[in-house]
């Protein structure tokens, strides 16, 4: 009789824990696996996207300084030096919130910055048009993000 009650109690406890995991754990876990989803019409998400943009400002300054000195943008980031000793490793390579910044030169006349945000979404900067674009990665049109 005691074994039966222990078994029933164990099953009820497991069901309760499973329900808690489904309710609270799966949204957190899906963000960890697929990356956080952003909705730029929601203030919290727009602020999070802007924080990612703000982290790249020292990179913009270094790239513009290089262009002023040499008349072109560098082909690779290893051609420039950063004013902060750990910026290249901690912000560009690793990125805030795990979003590294990728750089590509556009034939010396411009450059692009790219941050992969989750499985499909990205945030990119086009220096020729001087604009940030959030692409949700679902096939819909991207959204301009004003810093």
3-state secondary structure of 134: strand
Mean pLDDT of the chain, nearest integer: 81
- pLDDT higher than 50, residue 30: no
- DSSP per residue, 18-84: HHHIIIIIHHHHHHHHH-----TTSHHHHHHHHHHHHTTHHHHHHHHHHHHHHSS--SSGGGS--SS
State phi, psi for 70 to the nearest 5 degrees: -115, -5
pLDDT given for residue 134 in this prediction? 94
Mean pLDDT of 75-82: 86
Looking at residue 94, what is its pLDDT?
74
Asked if 48 and 134 count as a contact pair (C-beta separation under 8 A), the reply is: no
In which band, very low, low, confident or very high, does the pLDDT at 29 lie, cut at 50, 70 and 90? very low
Is 16's pLDDT higher than 80? no
The band of 68, judged by pLDDT with boundaries at 50, 70 and 90, is very high
Percent of all residues in the chain with a pLDDT value above 70, rounded to a whole number: 83
**What pLDDT does residue 76 have?**
87
């Amino acid at each position: 009789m005691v074994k039966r009650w222990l078994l029933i109690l164990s099953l009820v406890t497991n069901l309760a824990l499973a329900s808690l995991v489904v309710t609270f754990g799966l949204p957190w876990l899906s963000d960890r696996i697929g990356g956080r989803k952003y909705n730029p019409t929601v203030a919290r998400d727009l602020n999070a996207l802007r924080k990612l943009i703000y982290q790249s400002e020292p990179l913009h300054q270094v790239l513009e300084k290089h262009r002023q000195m040499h008349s072109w943008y560098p082909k690779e980031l290893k051609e420039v030096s950063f004013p902060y000793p750990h910026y290249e490793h901690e912000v560009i390579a690793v990125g805030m919130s795990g979003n590294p910044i990728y750089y590509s030169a556009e034939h010396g006349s411009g450059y692009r910055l790219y941050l992969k945000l989750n499985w499909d979404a990205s945030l990119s900067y086009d220096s020729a048009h001087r604009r940030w674009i959030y692409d949700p990665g679902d096939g819909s049109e991207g959204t301009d993000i004003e810093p």
